[in-house]
């Protein structure tokens, strides 16, 4: 019997550029600065806490919304950093990573035909998530070169069918962070509407040069309509653990949890208890900006000795560069050439645009050991 014909829910989705470039990097034995994950370990204390939780028998289903201790720890952090009180009981949910949190949020609030504004370049899960919910992604470009929000374009994109807007700060892939003034402008833009805000803040603890992270939780007019999403994996160098959280007003959280219980139900129990214990000391996340700024500064100093043109990096662990001073290759072809001939893998920014917009800019990840960065820089400086 032939295999049944299946009509794809995501007909335009193929293998991601991250998978493609990582495979090419492995094949060519290149230094992989493409995919965004650290090549160094987490604090051994955190691993010990997971082991201890498992040994104590904390291995069965936890509460669907997350263990109370972890939700309390998140509420305490949000209050301390952003002066916003969230109820650990009714307004914070532990998720299987931030990507699941984003999908669940969209499935909870987007109905067929609803429009969701995405600001390009954007993380690659946003648009497929919207399409899975039957929604329509409305792509609004950030300003090329600076990647700052264009509020005139955003205002023009708002219609009576707009259900939500997704904002990501600090921004992957550009490393731009929104200012307080820009968040206030967003607050004013959305004030007369019923538009929800999906605030992707997974790099919240990676903002540099002494600047504070401008969480949506800081602004009353945004917080009241926002799903604030973050990632323990990014913060504590454990991306493979896939644990995150969503903070949102109780009425929004209630709808979120209706979907959460059926697409995940719950999240790894011993890891939740370990994270709760570890968060009792805020120092690890308070020190994270300095930790990554040192890596950023080391990497930028090395790149300054190359033919790349450096773009600003205000946050995240990504550094974008202009390649036009090296050759005329498209971003995709440049990354293939760089991996194959130079031995360093990067990601083309065009992969973060629906139309493949090419501005001869590629993204490096500097969440790497010093020796990894040094080896990459040695190869890049030889171009």
Stated pTM of the model: 0.97
Predicted confidence band of residue 239 (pLDDT cuts 50, 70, 90): very high
Looking at residues 138-151, what average pLDDT do you find? Answer: 97
- Distance, first Cα to last Cα, the chain: 55
Q: What is the pLDDT of residue 336?
A: 96
Q: Is the pLDDT of residue 36 over 80?
A: yes
* Least trusted range by pLDDT, from 13-27, 72-86, 238-252: 13-27
pLDDT tens track for 256-302: 999 999 999 999 999 999 999 999 999 999 999 999 999 999 999 99
Q: How many residues does the chain have?
A: 383
Looking at residues 343-352, what average pLDDT do you find? Answer: 97
Residues with Cβ within 8 Å of residue 341, at least 6 apart in sequence: none
pLDDT tens track for 90-104: 999 999 999 999 999
**What is the C-alpha R_g of the chain?**
21
Residues with Cβ within 8 Å of residue 188, at least 6 apart in sequence: 221
Q: Is the pLDDT of residue 55 over 90?
A: yes
Whole-angstrom Cα distance, residue 232 to residue 227? 16
Domains of the chain: 17-42+286-381 (3.90.1150.10), 45-284 (3.40.640.10)
Tokens 């992989």 map to which residue?
32
CB atoms within 10 A of CB 298: 15
Whole-angstrom Cα distance, residue 76 to residue 83? 10
Q: Is the pLDDT of residue 1 over 80?
A: no
Predicted confidence band of residue 35 (pLDDT cuts 50, 70, 90): confident
Q: What is the pLDDT of residue 16?
A: 83
pLDDT tens track for 197-211: 999 999 999 999 999
Q: What is the pLDDT of residue 265?
A: 95
How many percent of the chain have pLDDT more than 70? 100
160-195 in b/e form (b: 16+ CB < 10 A) is eebbbbbbbbbbbbbbbbbeeebbeebbebbeeeeb
Q: What is the pLDDT of residue 2?
A: 78
Tokens of 149: 């929000």
């Amino acid at each position: 019997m032939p295999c049944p014909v299946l009509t794809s829910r995501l007909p335009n989705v193929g293998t991601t550029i991250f998978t493609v470039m990582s495979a090419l990097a492995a094949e060519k034995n290149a230094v992989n600065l493409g995919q965004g994950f650290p090549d160094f370990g987490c604090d051994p204390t955190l691993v010990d806490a997971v082991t201890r939780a498992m040994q104590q028998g904390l291995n069965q289903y936890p509460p669907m919304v997350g263990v109370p201790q972890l939700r309390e720890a998140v509420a305490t952090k949000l209050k301390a950093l952003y002066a916003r009180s969230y109820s650990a009981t009714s307004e914070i949910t532990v998720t299987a990573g931030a990507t699941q949190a984003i999908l669940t949020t969209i499935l909870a609030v987007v109905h067929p035909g609803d429009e969701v504004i995405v600001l390009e370049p954007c993380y690659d899960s946003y648009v497929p998530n919207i399409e899975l919910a039957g929604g329509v992604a409305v792509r609004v470009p950030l300003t090329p070169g600076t990647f700052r929000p264009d509020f005139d374009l955003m205002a023009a994109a708002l219609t009576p069918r707009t259900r939500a807007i997704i904002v990501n700060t600090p921004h992957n892939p550009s490393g731009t962070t929104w200012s307080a003034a820009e968040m206030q402008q967003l607050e004013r833009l959305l004030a007369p509407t019923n538009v929800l805000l999906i605030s992707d803040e997974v790099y919240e603890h990676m903002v540099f040069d002494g600047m504070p992270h401008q969480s949506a939780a800081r602004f009353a007019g945004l917080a009241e309509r926002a799903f604030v999403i973050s990632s323990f994996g990014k913060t504590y160098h454990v991306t493979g653990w896939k644990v995150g959280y969503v903070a949102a007003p109780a009425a929004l959280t209630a709808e979120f949890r209706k979907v959460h219980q059926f697409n995940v139900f719950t999240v790894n129990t011993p890891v939740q208890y370990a994270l709760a214990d570890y968060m009792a000391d805020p120092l690890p996340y308070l020190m994270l900006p300095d930790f990554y700024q040192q890596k950023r500064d080391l990497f930028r100093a090395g790149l300054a000795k190359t033919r790349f043109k450096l773009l600003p990096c205000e946050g995240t662990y990504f550094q974008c560069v202009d390649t036009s001073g090296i050759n005329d290759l498209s971003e995709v072809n440049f990354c293939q050439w760089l991996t194959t001939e130079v031995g360093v893998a990067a990601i083309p920014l065009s992969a973060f645009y629906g139309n493949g917009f090419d501005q001869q800019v590629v993204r490096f990840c500097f969440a790497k050991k010093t020796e990894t960065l040094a080896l990459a820089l040695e190869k890049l400086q030889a171009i």
